[in-house]
Amino acid sequence: MKRVFIHTFGCQMNVNDTMRMTEALASMQYAATPTAESADLIILNTCSIREKAEDKMLSALGRYRQVKLQRGALIGVGGCVAQQEKQKILDKVPYVDFVFGPDNIQKLPEILQRIEADRVRVVETAWVDSESYVFPQADPGTSRGKATEFITVMKGCDNVCSFCVVPHTRGREVSRPFGDVLKEASALTTVGVREVTLVGQNVNSYRGGVSFAQLLLRTAQVPGVERVRFTTSHPHDLSDELIEAFRVEPKIMPHFHLPVQSGSDAVLKRMRRDYTVEQYLERLKKLRAARPGIAVTTDIIVGFPGETDEDFERTVALAEQVRYAGQFSFVYSPRPRTGAAMREAEWGTVEHAVKVKRLDRLNALQKRISVELNAAFVGKTVQVMVEGPSKTDASRRFGRSGQNTVVNFDGDAPAGSLVAVEIGHASASSLSGRQVRVESLPPVMIPEAAALVPESCVVA
């Protein structure tokens, strides 16, 4: 048996791709190993969303060079940077043996065979066109013992947000047929998974035979699935039908990640986001009416080219008004071949120190709001899906509330249980309490029976 170490950068899409790489390599007798030093094959699954992610990958490559010198390990670069910068990687990093794009994961065994047979460097970054793309089917064995798992429902993005590199690295949108998604959800329940998160770059424009709202509702009906989540959405595709799904299906968890990016219409226009602040707020109002108490989180970019103090103040005012449960804020970084990078000189670069100041202000604001929102749970009882021992204190348990807040608690329920936790303490990032009741234990597994998807779930 040979050993493979995969270093994953970036988003959940990449984490899922890494799992599929591990499964593809198992057919070549490769087993996963937790350290690069013990590996015969090292793969970097890269992210290019911001410059920082790319820098991190380059410095990791430098470290792995030693392993190559000492053990003769093969080194491969996959993911978004590989797709966009294949030539640069090959030219600049002579010890990289192969480069492959996100569409070529299933070719990994073939790539390795070619390297072994011909001792050549291999590049596989061709797009597979939308009609013939087949999503890798997950092996449920990889998820054994996990209460919660992610399912890829689509890839790529047809939007043209001017800051974003994703359409260049992941290509056109392709949706996975809904029957395959439901089968995967069902297969995951056979190894103990009770919560699934449907993932894609832009899930609201899912077109896999049913609407995205229908896909959520059908996933919620798969026997053994107790909770359903999804990420990521674009506000301009947030349909009334999806909002209605939140009203009628309690298994869809009360959390919505709805990236706003900016609170200024002028900036949103240059970002090519296709909505105004007013339209965004109108969607949110409807969503909150359909599911009172829903937690809304967002992404914000500060220092986008041409962002003035007034533009930024509008973003602060929006964040105050919406009172997000969580905020992922980033300093704008120009990405190759994107619209904003090409027009930055015309729109005006925001000074780095100004960007950092704006980011600090948003983060401080979010901390205050998160503390206030979480404090409201103290003395209340919330339902938690247990994921395992607490990461901060192994004698305690940890899970997530419906709103997706981390809850650490004193208790004994096994992973996969749904428990009631009385909250005694809150911080900006988590809640803490004690288990007062077990609401349901994970079911006994009968793999053969549970692998079947009932007809009601797959009929369009």
- Chain contacts with ligand SF4 (rule: CB under 6 A): 157, 159, 161, 164, 166-167, 201-202, 234
Find which of ligand 5AD, ligand SF4, none residue 50 binds, CB within 5 to 8 Å per kind.
ligand 5AD
The least CB distance from residue 156 to ligand 5AD, in Å, is 15
Nearest-angstrom CA–CA distance, 181 and 196? 11
β-pairing, 381-389 vs 397-401, is: antiparallel
299 binds, among ligand SF4, ligand 5AD, none (CB under 5 to 8 A by kind): ligand 5AD
- State how far the Cα of 203 lies from the Cα of 200, in Å rounded to an integer: 5
What is the H or E stretch that residue 445 is in? none
d(CA 299, CA 330): 8
Q: How far apart are CA 262 and CA 350, in angstroms?
A: 15
308: left (phi over 0), alpha (psi -120 to 50) or beta: beta
Q: What mask, x for binding ligand 5AD by CB under 6 A, covers residues 35 to 74?
A: --------------xx------------------------
User: Is the CB of 85 or the CB of 226 nearer to ligand SF4?
Assistant: 85
Stretch that binds ligand 5AD, among 213-221, 326-334, 406-414, 441-449 (CB under 6 A): 326-334
Residue 157 touches which of ligand 5AD, ligand SF4, none (Cβ within 5-8 Å per kind): ligand SF4
Among 37, 110, 244, 299, binds ligand 5AD (CB under 6 A): 299
H or E stretch including 313? helix 309-322
Residue 112 interacts, among ligand 5AD, ligand SF4, none and using kind-specific CB cut-offs from 5 to 8 Å, with: none
Among residues 47 and 382, whose Cβ is nearest to ligand 5AD? 47
How would DSSP label each residue in 319-385? HHHHT-SEEEEEE----TT-HHHHHHHHH-PPPHHHHHHHHHHHHHHHHHHHHHHHHTTTT-EEEEE
The yes or no reply on residue 164 touching ligand 5AD (CB under 6 A) is: yes
Decide: is 239 part of the binding site for ligand 5AD (CB under 6 A).
no
Region binding ligand 5AD by CB under 6 A among candidate stretches 121-129, 213-221, 332-340, 376-384:
332-340
Q: Could you say which of 261, 327, 374, 401 contacts ligand 5AD (CB under 6 A)?
A: 261
Q: Does 255 bind ligand 5AD (CB under 6 A)?
A: no
Q: How far is the CB of 162 from ligand SF4 (least distance, A)?
A: 9
Half-sphere exposure of 247 toward its Cβ, with a 13 Å CA cutoff?
10
- How many Cα atoms are found within 13 Å in the side-chain-facing hemisphere of 384? 36
Footprint of ligand 5AD on 359-398 (CB under 6 A): none
CB 215 within 8 A of CB 178: yes
- Tell how strand 381-389 and strand 418-426 pair up: antiparallel
Q: How far, in Å, CA of 406 to CA of 398, rounded?
A: 7
User: Which of ligand SF4, ligand 5AD, none does 49 bind, CB closer than 5 to 8 A by kind?
Assistant: ligand 5AD
* Distance in Å, CB of 330 to ligand 5AD, minimum: 4
Helix (H) or strand (E) holding 166: helix 166-170
301 touches, from ligand SF4, ligand 5AD, none (C-beta below 5 to 8 Å by class): ligand 5AD
Residue 296 within binding range of ligand 5AD, rule CB under 6 A: no
Tell me the residue ranges of DSSP E strands in 381-451: 381-389, 397-401, 406-410, 418-426, 430-440
Kindly state the smallest distance separating residue 11's Cβ from ligand 5AD, in Å. 7
Tell me which residue has tokens 């247990």. Answer: 386
Rounded CA gap, 287 and 284, in Å?
5
Comparing CB distances to ligand SF4, the nearer of 237 and 249 is 237
Q: Which of 270, 335, 355, 397 binds ligand 5AD (CB under 6 A)?
A: 335
CB-CB neighbours of 414 under 10 Å: 13
Q: Looking at beta carbons only, is 183 or 335 nearer to ligand 5AD?
A: 335
Q: 353 in the Ramachandran plot: left (φ > 0), alpha (ψ -120 to 50) or beta?
A: alpha
For ligand 5AD, the closer of residues 186 and 327 by Cβ is 327
User: Contacting ligand 5AD (CB under 6 A), which of 13, 19, 112, 301?
Assistant: 301
Segment interacting with ligand 5AD, rule: CB under 6 A, options 104-112, 317-325, 328-336, 408-416: 328-336
- Interface positions with ligand 5AD (CB under 6 A): 49-50, 163-164, 259, 261, 299, 301, 330, 332-333, 335
